[in-house]
Amino acid sequence: MSSQTYSISDLARELDITTRAIRFYEEQGLLAPERRGQERIYSPRDKVSLKLILRGKRIGFSLAECRELIELYDPSSGNLKQLHSMLAKISERREQLEQQLLDIEQMKLELDTAEERCTQALQQTLQNQKHPAQ
């Protein structure tokens, strides 16, 4: 890895996130910048971790799952463990989304049924008001 370092504002600008978000991830133990006085100095590894967090968030991973993946980061091994874990998490997330889609479709059917019954009841009530039973 290169010896290039980044300030918090460099990372925020480059990754289009707020410095507050970066500090939050640091507080959660997901990033570990060096300190020079009050200044945070981020390494290329921190940048990779931050990219992984942001990608994980976009596809619905929890911070705990992101932490797991970051802990597996090992470029010397080609990141095999990390990649296998990521594929497993992607598959798991896909299954969750498929189940959510089925649940949503079921809920839509139930809404359709409830709407139909309400509409029929409303029509019956209006009909009864026009022609009250004698």
CATH number of 1-73: 1.10.1660.10
CA 44 to chain centre: 23
The two structure tokens encoding residue 50? 């931050």
Indicate the domain borders of the chain: 1-73, 90-133
- The span from the CA of 105 to the CA of 53, in Å, is 31
- The span from the CA of 47 to the CA of 14, in Å, is 10
- pLDDT tens-digit map of 25-58: 999 999 999 999 989 999 998 999 999 999 999 9
pLDDT at 126: 92
- pLDDT tens-digit map of 68-108: 988 888 888 888 888 999 999 999 999 999 999 999 999 99
- The span from the CA of 7 to the CA of 89, in Å, is 31
